[in-house]
Amino acid sequence: MVSKIYEGENIEELVERAKRELGENIRIVQYEIFKEKKWLFLGKRKYRILVEVEEKEEDQKRVFQKQLDFEELLQKVESIIEEKVKEVAPKVVSQKPNVPPHLEENISSVDLQISSEFTGEAVELINKLIKKDVFKDVAEDIVKAACGLDLDTNKWDLNAVTLKEALAKGIKEKISFTGPFDEIENIPKVIAFLGPTGVGKTTNLFKLASQFVLNKKKKVSVISIDTFKVGAVHQGRIYANILNVPFYSVSEPKKLRNIIDVLGEDEIVLIDTVGRSHYDYWRLGEIKEILSGILDELFAVLVLSCNYKNEDAFEIVDNYSQYFNIDALLMSKIDETKKPGILLNVPYKTEIPLSYISTGQRVPEDIEILTPELTASYFLKG
């Protein structure tokens, strides 16, 4: 705030002067008429105005600059930490207690010779899957579920009409699917989106919010767990405004509990969480702490990008599983990869059901519910 006093004989001139010096947005907060004494006589009539102006733009710029400085500092610190984590990464991976049993074997596997139990189209399909980064044992087991024993050769071959049908059948048998969240039995009231930074939590949360509100006529509220308090919730607020859904930003467990308690029974609460880097796992404790009052009723969705390599995806699932009971996987960015092996490997090995898949950047269009058929289709393209 800037304030300044102007004095003169012509009020219009004073205002003009103030505007020239302080800008168009001035406010006149005091106004006085007086006469200056000159010897024994009273002088001419004069005006005195006190003018104030909000430094709105400048203030905002300054706050924004502060945020940028802070972000820059955080990024520097985090890139140093990331480097350090990378240095010790091999040790960390080999110590993981929950690494799926066949993972190490699969990663280092050089011998991709398909089991001689298979023949014909079954071999063709297994090969297709392996080319798309599906683990050999996963590919074989899924395909086997769609096979019958060929009596002539005594080997497994497909017994469905098309490859897609066969693969969908195998996937249906070996992997589970949640179906739309609002149609699950005992509809989850509170759904939290977890996952590394940039994976697509916020955008996909709002895609679903939009579906629930517009297509299903549900009541939805969005709560952002803000562990940084530096405006990371800004994006969420913008989407919430566009969609016209209530938006809260919370950083304390009690406040979260209170908000959820006052929301209607039939309301779906979508919780967005904010991460900063791939390696900020220590923040999971912080997120869990804020969610601590509602863990019992929480439906935890882990968002994974289909373009993650197998190793990274399993490491992420492993880390998040140490803090949360993951109820569903939401797979993002299928449009960004031709080798979406993790789309089968992760649900197969971890037994966590698949839910939705995000197919692009457009909000709210680019999201679909995953079915065995749709999942199969991504492995038969190209």
Ligand X SMILES: Nc1nc2c(ncn2[C@@H]2O[C@H](COP(=O)(O)OP(=O)(O)O)[C@@H](O)[C@H]2O)c(=O)[nH]1
- Applying CB under 6 A, the residues found at the interface with ligand X are 195, 197-204, 332-333, 335-336, 358-361, 366
Q: Which amino acid is at 172?
A: K
Distance CA 312, CA 314 (A): 6
Nearer residue to Mg ion within complex by CB, 75 or 98 = 75
Q: Tell me whether residue 123 or residue 250 sits nearer to Mg ion (CB atom).
A: 250
Q: What residue is closest to ligand X based on CB?
A: 200
Contact call for residue 203 and Mg ion (CB under 5 A): no
Complete DSSP assignment for 157-196 = EE-SSSHHHHHHHHHHHHS-B---GGGSSS--SEEEEE-S
Of 176-184, 197-205, 312-320, 364-372, which segment contacts Mg ion by CB under 5 A? 197-205
- Written as six digits, the tokens of 175 are 């992997």
Smaller CB distance to ligand X: residue 7 or 335?
A: 335
Contact window for Mg ion (CB under 5 A) among 10-18, 46-54, 198-206, 251-259: 198-206
358 binds, among ligand X, Mg ion, none (CB under 5 to 8 A by kind): ligand X
CA distance 143 to 122: 7
Q: Residue 309 in contact with residue 336, Cβ under 8 Å?
A: no
Determine which helix (DSSP H) or strand (DSSP E) holds 124, and give its type and residue range.
helix 120-131
Cα 223 to Cα 249: distance, rounded to the nearest angstrom: 6
Choice between 135 and 206, CB closer to ligand X: 206
Q: How far is the CB of 18 from ligand X (least distance, A)?
A: 45
- Residue with smaller CB distance to Mg ion, 310 or 355: 355
Q: Which lies closer to Mg ion via its Cβ, residue 260 or residue 274?
A: 274
The only residue of 178, 202, 332, 358 in contact with Mg ion, by rule CB under 5 A: 202
133 binds, among Mg ion, ligand X, none (CB under 5 to 8 A by kind): none
Q: How far is the CB of 31 from ligand X (least distance, A)?
A: 51
Residue 332: name its binding partner from ligand X, Mg ion, none (Cβ under 5 to 8 Å by kind).
ligand X
Q: Would residue 167 be called left, alpha or beta, if left means φ above 0 and alpha means ψ between -120 and 50 degrees?
A: alpha
- Spatial separation of the C-alpha atoms in residues 285 and 194, rounded to whole Å: 12
CA atoms within 13 A on the CB side of 238: 8
If contact means CB under 5 to 8 A according to the sort of partner, which of Mg ion, ligand X, none does residue 336 touch? ligand X
